[in-house]
Amino acid sequence: MRKPIEQEVRGLQTPRERIWAAIRVMKKGFTRQTVQDRCEPMVPFTAVHDYFDALVAAGFIVKAGGGDRRAGSRSPAIRAELQYDLVKDQFDAPRLDAAGKSVTQGIATLAMWRAMKVLKAFDYKDVAAAASANGLEVKPLTAKTYVVLLARAGYFQTLKEAKPGTPARYRLAKNTGPHAPAITRRKCVFDRNTAQFAELETAQEVCDALEA
């Protein structure tokens, strides 16, 4: 039997995504400890603690009982026993800083990935324009870098080769899932949807860089 959509495996999940998934399943009367116990693979309690504080500050969860709620009580054991209810639900894990404010890191990459999946054909300028919406501005240079690297990693079918003054046009050929492929510090594409890496440098390029 197919699982409910909120329980579907959607590629590798970050610690906060695993915490949020556990909260959405439990919904009421959960504690930091019971949420940690439900996370697979388990996440550090410090990650649970920090994310709970951010979710409370943002109004996604509220204290519902248990523990010792007296002002000034900062015992980790007592805080672990406090019960919470989910009061503001959404599919994706809220992206929050320590104060509960929304953060935008990675939003541009996700917007570009979603744009590529909608557009039948595109160049980097099309991607930048389609991804810029709801107050988000994706600069053409940012889109160009992302498109070029994904093309090199084999995500696209090339419709027209680039010419001087004219960018290449592509069609998405490898729609791997909802998570936007990320460009890592070691110059490769990491796709959480498939848990795979795609190298962007050939062995010769790595060798040539040794003399730089």
Q: Please check whether residue 67 is in contact with residue 123, taking contact to mean a CB–CB distance below 8 angstroms.
A: no
Q: Please check whether residue 169 is in contact with residue 160, taking contact to mean a CB–CB distance below 8 angstroms.
A: yes
- Residue 117: both structure tokens together: 């999946």
Q: Do domains 5-86 and 107-209 have the same CATH topology?
A: yes
Name the CATH code of domain 107-209 (choices 1.25.40.10, 3.40.50.10440, 3.90.870.40, 1.10.10.10): 1.10.10.10
Question: Could you give the CA distance from residue 105 to residue 108 in angstroms, rounded to a whole number?
Answer: 8
**What is the structure's pLDDT at 187?**
77
Question: Could you give the CA distance from residue 55 to residue 52 in angstroms, rounded to a whole number?
Answer: 5
pLDDT at 61 over 90: yes
**What is the structure's pLDDT at 3?**
39
**What is the structure's pLDDT at 2?**
34
Between β-strands 188-191 and 196-199, what pairing exists: parallel, antiparallel or unpaired? antiparallel
**What is the structure's pLDDT at 96?**
93
Percent of the chain with pLDDT over 70: 82
Could you tell me the pTM of the whole model? Answer: 0.66
Mapped onto helix, strand or coil, the DSSP state of residue 63 is strand
| Domain definitions of the chain by residue range | 5-86, 107-209
Question: Could you give the CA distance from residue 168 to residue 199 in angstroms, rounded to a whole number?
Answer: 21
- Residue 31: both structure tokens together: 């504690």
More confident residue, 121 or 135: 121
Task: Look at 2-6, 125-129, 130-134 and tell me which has the smallest mean pLDDT.
Answer: 2-6
Fold of 5-86: Arc Repressor Mutant, subunit A (1.10.10)
**What is the structure's pLDDT at 170?**
98
pLDDT tens digit sequence for 16-49 = 999 999 999 999 999 999 999 999 999 999 999 9
**What is the structure's pLDDT at 9?**
43
Question: Could you give the CA distance from residue 87 to residue 66 in angstroms, rounded to a whole number?
Answer: 17
Q: Any residues with CB less than 8 A from the CB of 119 and at least 6 apart, and which?
A: 126, 127, 130, 172
pLDDT at 145 over 60: yes
**What is the structure's pLDDT at 206?**
58
Q: What's the Cα-to-Cα distance from 126 to each of 42, 131, 206, rounded to whole Å?
A: 41, 8, 32
**What is the structure's pLDDT at 180?**
94
**What is the structure's pLDDT at 80?**
59
Question: Could you give the CA distance from residue 34 to residue 18 in angstroms, rounded to a whole number?
Answer: 13
For residues 179-207, average pLDDT: 82
pLDDT at 171 over 60: yes
The whole-chain average pLDDT of the chain stands at 86
Question: Could you give the CA distance from residue 106 to residue 90 in angstroms, rounded to a whole number?
Answer: 18
pLDDT tens digit sequence for 64-85 = 976 655 544 556 665 658 999 9
pLDDT at 127 over 80: yes
**What is the structure's pLDDT at 5?**
32
**What is the structure's pLDDT at 103?**
85
